[in-house]
Structure 1
Amino acid sequence: MGNSVGVNPEQVHATADWLDKSAQDFRDELNSLMKEVRTFVGGEWQGAASGSHSDAWDEWDEGARQIIAGLEHDAAALHQAASLMHSTDQGSAGSIGSTVPGSA
């Protein structure tokens, strides 16, 4: 027989849920951090040096938000894949069951 792959859709959904939660936790931490940064950079701290740091923090914030979006995208893709695997498995089981004598 050929190689086979065993996948547990419930575990894939659980992994996707973990990714979703991780993304939300990361977003919450990022929002808290950026609030502190904005209070200091451009708030309490003024001048040219503050401006140069503000630009760097803006880039860092954008990059972090892209990571969060990637985690959310991956979680959605895992949920979709797990659902598709489950429905395909159910369909295959139904097809096999309908061809086995005495199984109907």
Structure 2
Amino acid sequence: MRAVWDCPGGFITQCALKLTALTWLRSSELRFGTWNEISWEDGLWVVPAGRMKRKRKHIVPLATQSLATLKLLRSFTGHKGDLMFPAQGRTGPVMSENTMEAAMKSLG
């Protein structure tokens, strides 16, 4: 976990790795997340059924660290639209799964 917190990759990639560890969401569930799925008051992330493997809505309780990470992330990506992890290049609408995989490989 210390390695993830000190990840040399970009800030958005670091947030994705932290949130994966804190929420146990799969890469696609996380990367395609939208800001309207977060209930800030209740401290919940409601992942719609369409993004879940079993096609059922999934409610993720958010720890204080998760909410803090999301607030920082929103200051970086919130102005770009509803996606939490928009693509930084021309790879598509959201961060590539390869981005997270490469960051994990760099951590060993």
TM tier, smaller: under 0.3
User: TM-score, normalising length from structure 1?
Assistant: 0.26
Considering Cα pairs closer than 8 Å and 6+ residues apart, tell me whether 1 or 2 has the greater RCO: 1
Identify, as 1 or 2, the structure richer in strand.
2
User: TM-score, normalising length from structure 2?
Assistant: 0.25
Larger gyration radius, structure 1 or structure 2: 1
